[in-house]
Amino acid sequence: MSAAAENNPQASLTPRLDEILQGLADRDVAERLRKVYLAAAHAIARLSDLDLVKYESPVVDSSPDLSLWEEMAPVIRDTVMDVNALLNVIREQFPTAPPHSATSRDAAGLLQDAMAMLAQGVTQLGEAMRNPSVVSDRWVLLAEIQRTRARFREQMSSLVFESVSTFGDVTRAQVVPGHEAEVKAAVTVRAITADLARIVSARLAKVREAEPEDVQWNAQQLQTELDAFGRTAAYRNLRAQDKRRIVEMRAGVGQLAIRANPTREELLVLMEELDAFVRGLSGVNQRQLLIIHDREVWASCGVRLERALSLVPTDAVGAARTLAEAAAAGQALYGRDAALDAFLRKARKLAFAQLSLEDLRATIASFQGLLAQLDVM
């Protein structure tokens, strides 16, 4: 496994992690840790590389469905093999705690603890796969596999972060393999689901005012909008249980879209349910991954805006350029707050270099005010 990890282009260590290992006085421990971290990077990449969309169903059927079990058996097998491969590397490299420094022993102890958690997760996965209520329901099975693989990735990420933290002050972004990609995926989900919430809310307002002859047309438009969302990266990264709800509601809208005279009340019932559900997807903001990310982006934008404001009297071009940089960085916060989202949408089309000094100051102040209202602490 360690050889495979070293040959996998995805299984690379971050520059900061490599720097820490290079700096360890105990070269034997450093090389052992390197093999473990490369194996972890390989496993995280493997566990992230799965698109469940092809296993999903465009309809939700309550009848038992054992066909997916046959399709997913190789995925489940590979999941267990990927986790066990990492466990084997840890067992080979750290069968006992290193006899040298206390720091090395602390790191090895954390690896042993993480190994026990991963092994327990493999056992729990096996138990879940023997549960008829899981394997006979397509969406429940997909949700279980997705949840399990995400938990394994999180545990492996913690394994790397916590053990290397014994040797120096680091952040997850600096040392955890695949961290940047996971943050990017979460940011994408938040941004696109925020736009979906805005679209659904606007459609709901139109339906409430629609004439009877316009109800079917609105149902068809909503169907098209949901279909478009289903082709986005955000949909691919949603939890299976959330996808199931969207599929269910999309089916209900589809039935109204092909009826000659659906009533406004029927469509409103579906749309109000959909509106509440989509708004609930903003719960992604509570992920620790995004909380840390948002804090960093918020601080970075704040520094740029302070600099932009200080440049306005003497260097309007520099101020506009710095404001544009802040607005570009702030796009990573899209979906966090409706008022900030409105500003960021406008900023995408705004030519900051063409603003007057007065408008430049006002735009900077507006952006600062919106950031100040965010709860990122």
Q: What is the pLDDT of residue 265?
A: 95
Q: What is the pLDDT of residue 59?
A: 65
| Domain stop point among 256, 285, 314 | 285
d(C-alpha 144, C-alpha 96), whole Å = 34
**How confident is the model over 354-374, as pLDDT tens digits?**
999 999 999 999 999 999 999
Contacts of 308 (CB under 8 A, 6+ apart): 319, 320, 322, 323, 326, 360, 364
Q: Is 126 inside a domain boundary? A: yes
Q: What's the domain count of the chain?
A: 3
Neighbouring C-beta atoms of residue 14, cutoff 10 Å: 21
Q: Does residue 281 sit in the same domain as residue 298?
A: no
Q: Does residue 204 sit in the same domain as residue 346?
A: no
Q: Is 73 inside a domain boundary? A: yes
Q: Does residue 11 sit in the same domain as residue 102?
A: yes
Q: What is the pLDDT of residue 8?
A: 47
Q: What is the pLDDT of residue 256?
A: 95
| Domain stop point among 177, 197, 212 | 177
| CA 99 to each of CA 5, 75, 77, 116, 369: distance values in angstroms, whole numbers, following the listed order | 27, 39, 36, 21, 56
Q: Does residue 113 sit in the same domain as residue 220?
A: no
Q: How much of the chain is in helix, strand and coil states, percent to nearest 5?
A: 80, 0, 20
Q: Is 193 inside a domain boundary? A: yes
- pLDDT over 60 at 326, yes or no: yes
Q: Does residue 355 sit in the same domain as residue 234?
A: no
pTM: 0.82
- pLDDT over 50 at 6, yes or no: no
List of E strands, 327-366: none
Extract the tokens encoding 92.
């080979």
Q: Does residue 278 sit in the same domain as residue 347?
A: no
Q: Does residue 214 sit in the same domain as residue 357?
A: no
Q: Is 329 inside a domain boundary? A: yes
Q: What is the pLDDT of residue 2?
A: 39
Q: Which pLDDT band holds residue 3 (cuts at 50, 70, 90)?
A: very low
| Domain stop point among 138, 161, 177 | 177
Which has the higher per-residue pLDDT, 305 or 133? 305
Instruction: Calculate what percentage of the chain has a pLDDT beyond 70.
Output: 93
Q: Which pLDDT band holds residue 9 (cuts at 50, 70, 90)?
A: very low
Instruction: Calculate what percentage of the chain has a pLDDT beyond 90.
Output: 67
Q: Is 377 inside a domain boundary? A: no
- pLDDT over 50 at 5, yes or no: no
Q: Does residue 83 sit in the same domain as residue 138?
A: yes
- Dihedral of CA atoms 212, 218, 220, 222 in degrees, nearest 10, equals -150
**How confident is the model over 216-273, as pLDDT tens digits?**
999 999 999 999 999 898 888 888 889 989 989 999 999 999 998 999 999 999 999 9
* H helix intervals, 100-239: 102-128, 132-135, 138-164, 172-175, 179-209, 215-229, 233-237
Q: Does residue 213 sit in the same domain as residue 158?
A: no
Q: Is 205 inside a domain boundary? A: yes
Q: Does residue 147 sit in the same domain as residue 232?
A: no
Q: What is the pLDDT of residue 237?
A: 85
Which domain does 265 fall in, by range? 183-285
Q: What is the pLDDT of residue 229?
A: 93
Q: Is 96 inside a domain boundary? A: yes
**How confident is the model over 60-117, as pLDDT tens digits?**
665 566 677 788 889 999 999 999 999 999 999 988 766 566 777 788 888 988 999 9
Q: What is the pLDDT of residue 65?
A: 63
d(C-alpha 34, C-alpha 105), whole Å = 16
Q: Which pLDDT band holds residue 334 (cuts at 50, 70, 90)?
A: very high
Q: Does residue 310 sit in the same domain as residue 328?
A: yes
**How confident is the model over 18-48, as pLDDT tens digits?**
999 999 988 988 999 999 999 999 999 999 8
Q: Does residue 220 sit in the same domain as residue 119?
A: no
- pLDDT over 60 at 4, yes or no: no
Q: What is the pLDDT of residue 61?
A: 62
